[in-house]
Amino acid sequence: MTQSYGNPRTLRSDIVFAFALVLAGYLVWLIRDVLVLLYVSALFAVALTPLVRTISALHIGRWQPFKGSAIFLLLLVMASAVTLFGFLALPPVIRDLQEFGREMPARLPGLLEKLKHIPFAENLDTDELSSRLQDSVSGAATFLLMSIKGWASAVFDVAMGFILTIYFILEGDHAYQWFLSFFPPERRERLDTTLRRAEIRMGKWLLGQGSLMLILGVTSTVVFLSLHVRYAYALGVLTGFLNIIPVLGAAASIALALLVAAIDSWGRVAWIAIFYVVYLQIENSILIPRIMKKSVDLPGLAILVALVLGSELAGVLGAMVSVPTAVLVTVLLDEYFVHKDAV
């Protein structure tokens, strides 16, 4: 009787594979933050690459910028925008914070008296609130010192993400070909075509989203300046920037603008509320259908689900890249899993 050794070998291979899979999953869990940073950087590189190619295709006389100089020009524009923002927006905020810190003990009773006249705030215990505010101010320095490490880590992550994005733009083609080499040649062409189709849609998303952010930021700044709202430039830029996060970004910027306007006048609060109501109607009925519908082509439910999943998995970064990730997943599902009826 001949004994078969196939089953023991197969069982042993399955056990080794299972252990290797568990070990790989554990390693992925340990470096999950690094993988998220790599993914976000690669995604922004994919979205920014068409812009870099457009700049590279420009002709200025006889000079045509190559990819490196195109990235440099893009960085120069970004640095100029940040510098302009720092000169126009930050000084009033810093000045008022310093003044508030010096005058808070004397102005606190008046602020609490105004608080009593706000609807639904008559029953607040102002003495307890005053005590808590003073304790919060006294503990602000301690909290700031404790959070320095966290801020330093966040700044380091932003800097590394920025550098990785540049390297992905410069050497992304090599990394992309290396990634495709893991797949059999007969499947490689189909995957390449699918991913390039997703790249085009994500590039269109960046262009559309950037247009919406610019429109909202400029119109908000003009409205804030005309109403003489405090920190008009800072609020306008923040309103436009937060628009990159679907739903939550707009809600946060509206709440912040209303809160700042409430410091000086309830009339300004009313006008800002009217502006946002009118703008949201125009955006939802005119701007989004014309700018974003053809580029993203995702239903509202899919965007909301992607937003919830992205924010849960990676916080603010996950929310920012939730829509392009949903575009990528949708293109892959449409190519490999959706069965289209034959025409």
The pLDDT score that the predictor gives to residue 176 is 86
* DSSP, res 298: -
Instruction: Give the pLDDT confidence score for residue 301 in this predicted structure.
Output: 75
pLDDT score of 145:
45
Instruction: Give residue 219's pLDDT.
Output: 92
d(CA 167, CA 171): 6
Q: Is 186 helix (H, G, I), strand (E, B) or coil?
A: helix
| Radius of gyration of the chain from its Cα atoms, rounded to whole angstroms | 26
pLDDT tens for the 343 residues of the chain, in order: 445 444 556 777 778 888 888 898 888 888 888 888 888 888 888 877 877 777 777 776 666 666 677 777 777 777 777 777 777 767 776 776 666 666 556 666 666 566 556 555 555 555 555 555 555 554 444 544 444 455 566 667 777 888 888 888 888 888 888 888 888 888 888 899 998 888 888 877 877 888 888 888 899 989 988 988 888 888 888 888 888 777 778 788 888 888 888 887 888 889 999 998 898 888 777 777 666 666 666 777 777 788 788 877 777 777 778 888 888 888 888 888 876 654 4
Q: How much is the pLDDT for 274?
A: 92
**Phi and psi dihedrals of 62, rounded to 5?**
-95, -5
Q: Structure tokens of 33?
A: 């933050």
- Domain boundaries in the chain? 13-73+158-182, 185-337
Integer Cα distance of 299 and 90 in angstroms? 38
Using CA atoms, how far apart are residues 286 and 180, in angstroms rounded to an integer?
Answer: 40
Cβ atoms < 10 Å from Cβ of 155? 10
SS (H, E, C) 26-77: HHHHHCHHHHHHHHHHHHHHHHHHHHHHHHHCCCECCECCCHHHHHHHHHHH
